[in-house]
Amino acid sequence: MKKRKSKKPVSRARSGKSAAARPAAPNRAGTAPKRVRAILQKLDEAYPDVTCALEHRNAFELLISTILSAQCTDVRVNQVTKTLYQKYRTPKDFAYANPSELEQEIRPTGFFRSKTKSIMGASKRIVDDFGGEVPRTMEQLLTLPGVARKTANVVLGCAFGIAVGVVVDTHVIRLSNRLDLSRNSDPRKIEQDLMRVIPQDKWILFSHQLIWHGRKICQARNPRCAECNLERLCYAKDKTI
């Protein structure tokens, strides 16, 4: 008697559907709507009205501060901009600055040569192409030298209240992974994951809530889980309780 061949399941590799090509499953454990709602509620309780910690008086200053904040703390940036914005008040002032002087003025924020190039380049573009005003769309902001999605999202969200994405910085990357809202490490993919599961009217506040929580409680080393109001919802491997 002929033996019947058992039907083997077709592997993903053979089926041509790689894990990377698949959209994130909307209802997997970490992003079940009920769980996401509970996380948002806890964040609202702890941080009802947080916003960007970079001090600024207008969208242009916020743009410059955000460029300066790469690889630097907001506290340090605020120290530098306190005097910087007294000397340079408009995009024109930065566009036609003396680069060596500007380099020394922003030196404490690190990477001062490339930041000077970005600041002067972005300011020139704003003067030449946008009538001296910071543009209000993601597409236009991304044409400015030194501006990527994170900076654009900060400016659009904080200065203009426009939610077209989620700010993904080092804190948002870490917390999104620990809270299992995203299993990606690439910021662009994390942003897409978050945009899928967080309601759009929460995008601006949510990113700032994660940033504040990351600074105060869910720090990279030794997160203070005993003080965390998300602890019961969190099953991160590196939890400290």
Q: Catalytic site residues? A: 150, 169
Q: Which is nearer to ligand SF4, 10 or 226 (CB)?
A: 226
CA distances from 106 to 67, 71, 137 (A): 11, 13, 27
DSSP label of 226: G
- Residue 169: CB minimum distance to ligand SF4, A: 16
- Determine how many CB atoms are found less than 10 A away from the CB of residue 30: 21
Q: Given candidates 62, 64, 163, 230, which one binds ligand SF4 under the rule CB under 6 A? A: 230
- Residue 186: CB minimum distance to ligand SF4, A: 21
Residues 108-167 that bind ligand SF4 (CB under 6 A): none
Q: Which is nearer to ligand SF4, 113 or 216 (CB)?
A: 216
Amino acid found at 78: N
Q: Give me the sign of the Cα torsion angle 35, 36, 37, 38.
A: positive
- Residue 220: CB minimum distance to ligand SF4, A: 10
Site mask, ligand SF4, residues 175-214, x = CB under 6 A? ---xx-----------------------------------
Instruction: List the structure tokens of 132.
Output: 């001296």
Instruction: List the structure tokens of 202.
Output: 């929460």
- Residue 234: CB minimum distance to ligand SF4, A: 3
Q: Given candidates 24, 40, 162, 225, which one binds ligand SF4 under the rule CB under 6 A? A: 225
Helices (H) and strands (E) in the chain, counts: 13, 0
Q: Given candidates 76, 92, 202, 239, which one binds ligand SF4 under the rule CB under 6 A? A: 239
* 99 CB-side CA count, 13 A: 12
Instruction: List the structure tokens of 228.
Output: 């965390």
What is the size of the binding site for ligand SF4 (CB under 6 A)?
Answer: 13
In which region does residue 129 sit, left (phi positive, over 0), alpha (psi from -120 to 50) or beta (all else)?
Answer: alpha
- Residue 233: CB minimum distance to ligand SF4, A: 8
* Phi, psi dihedrals of residue 194, rounded to the nearest 5°: -65, -40
- Whats the size of the chain, residue-wise? 241
Using the contact rule CB under 6 A, the part of the chain among 117-125, 142-150, 163-171, 225-233 near ligand SF4 is 225-233
Q: What is the rounded distance in angstroms from the CA atom of residue 69 to the CA atom of residue 171?
A: 13
Per rule CB under 6 A, is residue 172 in the interface with ligand SF4? no
Residues at the contact surface with ligand SF4, assessed by CB under 6 A:
178-179, 217-218, 223-225, 228, 230-231, 234, 236, 239
